[in-house]
Amino acid sequence: MTYIHQTITDLKQSSPAQCEFYQAVEEVLESLEPLLETSKRYQKHAIIQRIVEPERQIMFRVPWVDDNGNVQVNKGYRVEFNSALGPYKGGLRFHPSVNASIIKFLGFEQIFKNALTGLPIGGGKGGANFDPKGRSDNEIMRFCQSYMNELYRHIGPTTDVPAGDIGVGAREIGYMFGQYKRLTGRYEGVLTGKSLLWGGSLARKEATGYGTVYFAQYMLEAQGSSLKGKKCLVSGAGNVAIYAIEKLLELGATPVSCSDSRGTIFHEQGIDLELIKDIKEVRRLSLEEYMRVHSDAIYTPSGEYPEDGHAVWRFNADAAFPCATQNELTGEDAQVLLANGCTLVSEGANMPSSQAAVEAFIKAQIAYGPGKAANAGGVATSQLEMSQNASMRNWTFEEVDEQLKAIMKNIFTAASNAAQEYGQPNNLVLGANIAGFKRVAEAMIEQGVV
Ligand code: NDP
Ligand code: 2IT
């Protein structure tokens, strides 16, 4: 354990107050222990010391004028973490909680996630501490334009290709693409998650949620089981959650919950997907709106379990799909889920389970798909969008979806094989971290000390 402690101690000194980043690093390094014990080559090439340090971190001012004529200032970020396997690739998050720690944890996770896809993409992440809630369309546009006024000089279709994440969807990507085009005069695949009218890929919108459910399906298939008839808890009500719910319904499971930052809906007979799409994608309202149509559902406002947990994980279910945000499933939540008979967790969000929750799932030997494996379908399909842009071709929905399924299957197989090789066949955290790390580390060694 000494190198883990040493690395975290060094990070705490060189990058103070970045707890989410230390959490992500610690989880990966703990998994690598058996690998580093048997192979000294990674130590010889100082791979650990290099891999935890971003190649480049860009922080910038984002000034803009709100609808009342007041000048607002936000903090913008892009962390270009690792380019051993390809151009930096990863989303942009617009949320008031964004800081350097959150962007670095996301960028660090992205390195291994992207490696697991087997595609030629490096790891990066960006965003701003901008809160889109309650902002008019014009304010969103002005913010996106100002953000791109700085970002455009750092990105490009073969250098760094951002996409969406929390608070960034097709609308924001559109405004940022427009500004990039105006500044550079170039029409190119510099962003993914674009509208289908002008360069987007079919199935990209659905890909993360669908991919998370495919991953769950592959975990169950390996046990001779399936999702059919399973009662599933889903958290979040954004891009990932909505399309996880859609795929669960298609596969004959019953998704019984969803949540947003203000509260949780539990609907025993199954979530009304079209209503959720209308509330969140079209009208952009709070989930409380759901109760106007379905008075038989249960609405729990946030803050019911302020110390140690969240309402969404307190209901009985066979499976859980955390699709909102980091550390939204605590150790206490995990104990309740397990006690209520939950035997599968597939993470649509990035690092949704706290360290204590991850340990509980591994100890209980349930089917547990960590985010960097289970939610890789989004970024993988982004890379398929890049391929289509580069070749000036458009694939059908079915073609993209088939490739997405194959990629999720390969990720499951790679993580599962690595877990077996290192003597813990059920531990996909270990398997995903080792399989992802090996690919990046070998590429870094071959490319020399850069
Ligand atoms: P969206 O912005 O579309 O939706 C986020 C959802 O989570 C909303 O329902 C939001 O509620 C809720 N949420 C966000 N932050 C908080 C918080 N601090 N507390 C409680 N609820 C919160 O984002 P996505 O669906 O795209 O992203 C969800 C997760 O999936 C994130 O962890 C993201 O990193 C991850 N992810 C996304 C991918 C993608 O392709 N989009 C790919 C891989 C992972 P509200 O609306 O009230 O804010
Ligand atoms: O966390 C993620 O993988 C994403 N937000 C998607 C990144 C991408 O480039 O599509």
- As given in the structure block, the two tokens for residue 330 are 């605590």
Say whether pLDDT at 205 is over 70.
Answer: yes
Residue 396 lies in a domain: no
Best residue among 240, 289, 313 to mutate for probing ligand 1's pocket (most ligand atoms within 8 Å of CB) is 240
Instruction: Give the pLDDT confidence score for residue 5 in this predicted structure.
Output: 87
Domain range enclosing 180: 55-186
| CATH number, domain with residue 282 | 3.40.50.720
Tally of structural domains, the chain: 2
Same domain flag for 367 and 221? yes
Residue 108 lies in a domain: yes
Residue 198 lies in a domain: no
Same domain flag for 169 and 208? no
Same domain flag for 128 and 224? no
Same domain flag for 162 and 94? yes
Say whether pLDDT at 396 is over 90.
Answer: yes
Same domain flag for 342 and 261? yes
Active site residue 125: yes
Ligand 2 center–CA 164 separation, angstroms: 6
Mind giving me the DSSP string for 330-364?
-HHHHHHHHHTT--EEE--SSS-B-HHHHHHHHHT
Same domain flag for 365 and 231? yes
- Structure confidence by residue, pLDDT tens digits, 97-127: 999 999 999 999 999 999 999 999 999 999 9
Q: pLDDT category, 306, cuts 50, 70, 90?
A: low
Same domain flag for 317 and 366? yes
| CB 375 less than 6 A from any atom of ligand 1 | yes
DSSP state of 87: S
Distances (CA, A) of 231 to 64, 268, 385: 46, 9, 33
Residue 320, SS3?
Answer: strand
DSSP state of 62: E
Residue 154 contacts residue 185 (beta carbons within 8 Å): no
Same domain flag for 126 and 247? no
| CB 39 less than 6 A from any atom of ligand 1 | no
| CB 238 less than 6 A from any atom of ligand 1 | yes
Same domain flag for 223 and 280? yes
Ligand 1 center–CA 62 separation, angstroms: 22
pTM (two decimals): 0.98
Q: pLDDT category, 39, cuts 50, 70, 90?
A: confident
Domain boundary among 153, 186, 219: 186
For residue 244, give the amino acid letter. A
- Structure confidence by residue, pLDDT tens digits, 62-104: 999 999 999 999 999 999 999 999 999 999 999 999 999 999 9
| CB 200 less than 6 A from any atom of ligand 2 | no
Instruction: Count other C-beta atoms under 10 Å from residue 374's C-beta.
Output: 32
Instruction: Give the pLDDT confidence score for residue 307 in this predicted structure.
Output: 63
Ligand 2 center–CA 197 separation, angstroms: 21
Best residue among 85, 379, 386, 407 to mutate for probing ligand 2's pocket (most ligand atoms within 8 Å of CB) is 379
Average per-residue pLDDT in the chain?
97
CA atoms of 296 and 381, how far apart (whole Å): 37
Q: pLDDT category, 4, cuts 50, 70, 90?
A: confident
